[in-house]
């Protein structure tokens, strides 16, 4: 994949108000951080911090791009996971069709970075929100934006906002089907939305396809989850020829889904309908998979393998073995108040817990790796503290540094302004600015 260094455009000055930056160090431009030779466990960097294994990330990108190419589909990775224009730019350079965003502010971040093809994979609200989107896009006449629509009020709000101004780029509307979150629940509901959009079409306000999000259909029961997702895909696929019959054969259409680890079910459910259409493109929206993790994605890829859903070049492959967790959070041991317990300086403000607690991976002392942190377990988190149960007597000392794996990249990265990119020897070689607002 392309070098992430080349994708960075912002170069602000960074100082010790930011996690990881050594206290008392003179401010540095963002692109100078990777030339300092810092390591998360060397005693200089302020902990806790979050890091990206650049080698693992690059391998994940190559693997996922090979997968989508082999399936004959495109991908617009969801930018909400890292909210880093450098990383989304690198994914575009690696072959992504476009970028997905979740709201108007995220769209502004990507547009200001020069990225012009966006899927706004969410409903945005009513007329006030539609006018805010119009105000943003008025500044980007070459933007190609496609937005989810699941209601008549939103279709009408967007129509009104686009009729009020003459300085807007074309807006593509995607009728959204859903299960468990937003989206039309029936072909009849979607048909009413389609009617409203087609009745209001102008050259810069047009239907451009249909959309769905399958991840919200997941339940605690694996069989029920697949049944619900397959049902959603059938609903979506069955609607495509109805759309084509209404608009004729000349207009390109998008069908987009696949914003989760169930992208294999998306492809299986939609491929026949897309292939049968004369001018239709399927676009996945997976984003967190490029980062992988030691929790929800680890479990999700095990499920993907169990159902034989990952194939490269027509051959079954192991997603669990192919993708590698790329994110780590690093924290110091602050206290050993009881036998078998260590208190680390990492808490709810630093790491995700919505899909599982962080996992201790390795222990470092005096700038050197002692070994794997086998058997240690995070019991709970406070705002600033992690309670780590130690195996046996536990050779863990105050001041040691613990490397943690995380679960759920999307709700971990958003706590951090800087993501530190590490080379294989764990030296910081680049810093990525995030834009979570």
Beta-bridged to residue 253, according to DSSP, are 280
Q: Give the number of other Cβ atoms within 10 Å of residue 241's Cβ.
A: 12
d(CA 412, CA 14) in angstroms, rounded, equals 21
pLDDT at 368 exceeding the cut of 50: yes
The pLDDT of residue 160 is: 98
SS3 4: helix
Q: Are 255 and 282 in contact (CB under 8 A)?
A: yes
pLDDT band at 353 (very low <50, low <70, confident <90, very high): very high
Contacts of 123 (CB under 8 A, 6+ apart): 148, 149, 150, 151, 154, 176, 182
The pLDDT of residue 9 is: 53
Q: Which two tokens stand for residue 53?
A: 């294994």
User: What are the CA-CA distances from residue 329 to residues 47, 272, 357 (Å)?
Assistant: 9, 42, 12
Contacts of 221 (CB under 8 A, 6+ apart): none
Helices and strands in the chain: count of H runs, count of E runs: 12, 22
d(CA 13, CA 31) in angstroms, rounded, equals 9
3-state per-residue secondary structure call for 80-146: CCCCCHHHHHHHHHCCCCCEEECCHHHHHHHHHCCCCEEEECCCCCCHHHHHHHHHHHCCCCCCEEE
User: What are the CA-CA distances from residue 346 to residues 19, 87, 325, 330 (Å)?
Assistant: 12, 25, 19, 8
Percent of the chain with pLDDT over 70: 98
Q: What single-letter DSSP state applies at residue 437? A: -
User: What are the CA-CA distances from residue 33 to residues 5, 350, 368, 423, 430 (Å)?
Assistant: 12, 21, 21, 13, 6
The per-residue pLDDT for range 158-195, each reduced to its tens digit, is: 999 999 999 999 999 999 999 999 999 999 999 999 99
Tell me the DSSP string of 175-223. Answer: EEEESSSSSBSSHHHHHHHHHHHHHT-BTTEEEEEEEEE-GGG--SSHH
Q: What is the mean pLDDT of residues 111-115?
A: 97
Percent of the chain with pLDDT over 90: 95
Greatest C-alpha distance within the chain: 73
Does the global pTM surpass 0.85? yes
Q: Are 140 and 111 in contact (CB under 8 A)?
A: yes
End-to-end CA distance of the chain: give it in Å, rounded: 28
pLDDT band at 6 (very low <50, low <70, confident <90, very high): very low
The per-residue pLDDT for range 142-152, each reduced to its tens digit, is: 999 999 999 99
pLDDT at 210 exceeding the cut of 80: yes
The β-bridge relationship of strands 171-178 and 205-213 is parallel
pLDDT at 4 exceeding the cut of 70: no
d(CA 210, CA 176) in angstroms, rounded, equals 6
Phi-psi region of 419 (alpha: psi -120 to 50; beta: other; left: phi over 0): beta
Q: What single-letter DSSP state applies at residue 52? A: E
Q: What is the mean pLDDT of the chain?
A: 95
């Amino acid at each position: 994949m392309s070098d992430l260094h080349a994708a960075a455009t912002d170069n602000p000055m960074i100082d010790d108000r930011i996690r990881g930056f050594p206290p008392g160090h003179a401010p540095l431009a963002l692109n100078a951080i990777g030339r300092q030779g810092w390591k998360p466990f060397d005693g200089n960097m302020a902990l806790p911090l979050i890091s990206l294994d650049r080698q693992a990330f690059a391998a994940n990108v190559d693997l996922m791009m090979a997968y989508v190419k082999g399936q004959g589909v495109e991908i617009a990775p969801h930018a909400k996971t890292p909210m880093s224009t450098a990383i989304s730019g690198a994914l575009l350079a690696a072959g992504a069709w476009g970028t997905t965003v979740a709201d108007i502010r995220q769209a502004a971040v990507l547009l200001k970075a020069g990225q012009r093809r966006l899927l706004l994979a969410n409903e945005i609200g009513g007329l006030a929100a539609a006018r805010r989107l119009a105000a943003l896009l008025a500044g980007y006449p070459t933007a190609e934006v496609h937005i989810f629509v699941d209601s008549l009020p939103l279709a009408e709000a967007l129509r009104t906002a686009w009729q009020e101004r003459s300085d807007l780029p074309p807006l593509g509307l995607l009728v959204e089907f859903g299960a468990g979150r937003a989206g039309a629940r029936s072909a009849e509901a979607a048909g009413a939305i389609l009617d409203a959009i087609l009745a209001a079409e102008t050259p810069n306000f047009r239907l451009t396809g249909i959309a769905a999000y399958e991840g919200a259909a997941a339940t605690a029961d694996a069989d029920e989850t697949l049944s619900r997702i397959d049902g959603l895909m059938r609903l979506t696929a069955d609607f495509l020829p109805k759309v084509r019959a209404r608009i004729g054969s000349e207009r390109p259409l998008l069908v987009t889904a696949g914003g989760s680890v169930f992208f294999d079910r998306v492809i299986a459910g939609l491929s026949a309908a897309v292939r049968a259409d004369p001018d239709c493109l399927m676009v996945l929206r997976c984003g967190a998979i490029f980062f992988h993790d030691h929790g929800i994605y680890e479990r999700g890829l095990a499920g993907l393998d169990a159902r034989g859903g990952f194939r490269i070049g027509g051959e079954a492959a192991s997603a669990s073995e192919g993708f590698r967790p790329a994110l780590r959070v690093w924290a110091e041991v602050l206290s050993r108040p009881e036998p078998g317990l260590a208190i680390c300086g990492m808490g709810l403000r630093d790491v995700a817990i919505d899909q599982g607690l962080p996992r201790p991976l390795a222990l470092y002392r005096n700038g050197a790796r002692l070994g794997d942190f086998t058997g240690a377990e995070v019991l709970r988190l406070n705002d600033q503290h992690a309670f780590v149960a130690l195996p046996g007597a536990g050779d863990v000392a105050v001041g040691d540094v613990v490397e943690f794996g995380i679960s759920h990249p999307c709700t971990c990265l958003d706590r951090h302004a800087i993501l530190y990119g590490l080379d294989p020897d764990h030296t910081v070689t680049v810093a990525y600015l995030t834009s979570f607002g």
